[in-house]
Amino acid sequence: MINGPFVICNGDDIYGEEVFSILFDHLNENKNNMTLGYKLGNVMPDKGAFNRGIFEEENGFVKKITETLGIEENNLEEKGLNKNDLCSMNLFGLRKETLDMLYEKLVKFKEEHKNNPKIECYLPTELNNLISEGKIKMKIYETDESCLGVTNPEDESILRDKLKLVS
């Protein structure tokens, strides 16, 4: 059903308007994939642990994405992170060819893990695999925007309060 460039994003996050403009412009003007790099400190939930794909970039392109689990404000140093590190909020502009390659990886992942129904196939990890295999290039645009999301159960009421302030 998808036959051209497209955007993929989390359904439980609220992204700013500016990042969608960047996505739109890039996909209309470029042939490579792209993503937004958020500063980790701008996208940390108020409470609880969270996961993020941490970017390494080189010359404006993603060199590596490391899915990092169980991040909390009090364990950043222990995990080798700081609030200025660029991270993924699972907001990607992808080409149709990339989707086809991701589909192949998903089929393989499901076959390899068919006896483990709780294991997750992380999109940043699979994109990283395609990058490291030299199959795709991904432009990264740094943004200072924040992103509102529901990571932990208590985030829903916090998000509701923040949205009231915006309206």
pLDDT tens profile 61-92 = 999 999 999 999 999 999 999 999 999 999 99
- Annotation: CATH topology of 6-166: Spore Coat Polysaccharide Biosynthesis Protein SpsA; Chain A (3.90.550)
- The pLDDT-based confidence of 152 (bands split at 50, 70, 90) is low
- Residue 3 forms beta bridges with which residues? none
Task: Specify the pLDDT at position 46.
Answer: 77
Among the listed residues 142, 145, 113, the one whose alpha carbon sits nearest the alpha carbon of residue 126: 113
Which 8-state DSSP code applies to residue 40? G
Structural domain spans, the chain: 6-166
What is the token pair recorded at 108?
């393989």
Q: Name the average pLDDT for the chain.
A: 89
Residue at 20: amino acid letter: F
List, in order, residues 6 or more apart from 118 with CB less than 8 Å away. Answer: none
